[in-house]
Amino acid sequence: MIPPSGHRQHTKAGIAYHPGLVVNFLSTQIAMVEAGEGIAIVPSFALQECRHRGVLASRLVHPRAHLDFHQIRRGGRTLAPAAEEFTSFLQTYVPRWAAQGGLL
């Protein structure tokens, strides 16, 4: 139960993986693991739910997982000037931060 982004990470790492089932919702992934029906790769903000359900979670360290970040906004709407400014800040800060931390 690895989300589509996880499949890209497998490919980058040279690992062939052919899942029998793919689910996209985090709560569904965690519930399937809890039921003993597979494994899941989830972002760190899902760790609280894992602990709540008694599911063991461990950090991916080899190969190291690199993540893409996306901004989500409602179509056809413009952001407030402060939100646009914050978006511009993040677009310049995050790549610099990731490079300094060895994430890129």
Task: Encode pLDDT of 30-82 as tens digits.
Answer: 999 999 888 888 888 889 999 999 898 888 777 666 666 677 777 888 888 88
Confidence of residue 27 (pLDDT cuts 50, 70, 90): very high
98 found inside a domain: yes
Across the strands, what pairs with 64?
61
77/102 same-domain check: yes
Here the tokens at position 27 are 């709560």
Longest Cα–Cα distance in the chain = 47
Same domain, 10 and 48: yes
Task: Using the Cα atoms of residue 78, residue 81, residue 86 and residue 89 in order, give the sign of their dihedral.
Answer: positive
In a domain, 19, yes or no: yes
Under 8 Å between Cβ of 43 and 67:
yes
Owning domain of residue 95 = 70-104
Residue 42 within any structural domain of the chain = yes
pLDDT at residue 28 in the model: 92
8 A C-beta contact, residue 41 and residue 2: yes
Is there a single domain that holds both residue 8 and residue 49? Answer: yes
pLDDT of residue 67: 67
- Distances in Å between the Cα of 92 and the Cα atoms of 33, 82, 87 are 37, 16, 9
Number of structural domains in the chain: 2
Please report which confidence band the pLDDT of residue 104 belongs to, taking 50, 70 and 90 as the band edges. Answer: low
